[in-house]
Chains A and B, each alone.
Chain A
Amino acid sequence: MFNSAFDAIVPLLCVTLAALASMSAEAFRGKGERMPIGGLGIVGLAGAAVSCVLLWNRNTSSFGVIVADNFGLFVTMTLIIVGLLTIMFSSQVLDLHDLPRGEYYTLVLFAIAGMIMMATANDLLVLFIALEIMSLAVYVLTGIRRDDQRSSEAAFKYFLLGAFSSAFFLYGIAFTYGVTGSTRLDRVGTFLAAQSMADNPLLLVALGLLLVGFAFKISAVPFHMWTPDAYEGAPAIVTGFMSTGVKAAAFAAFARVFLSAFEPFSADWAPVVWVIAAATMILGTVVGVAQSNLKRMLAYSSIAHGGYLLVGLVAANQVGKAAILFYLLAYAVTNLAAFGVIAMLGARDRANDELRDYAGLWQSHPALAALMTVCLLSLGGIPPTVGFIGKWYIFSAAVGSGYYGLAIIGVLTSVISVFFYLRVVVMMYMAERDGAPALPRVGAVGMTALAIAIFAIFYLGILPTAVLDLAAASISTIF
Chain B
Amino acid sequence: MKRLLLLAILLPAVVPAADFNGFVREFSRQTGAHQLYIPFFGLARFVVAVAHPAGTSDLKLAVFEHVSNRPLDFALTADRLAHGEGWNRIVRVRNRNGEFTNIYTRRDGNHLRLMVATLDGEDATFVELRIQPEQLMKFVDEHDGKHHLTD
A and B interact: no
Residues of B within 8 A of A (CB): none
Residues of A within 8 A of B (CB): none
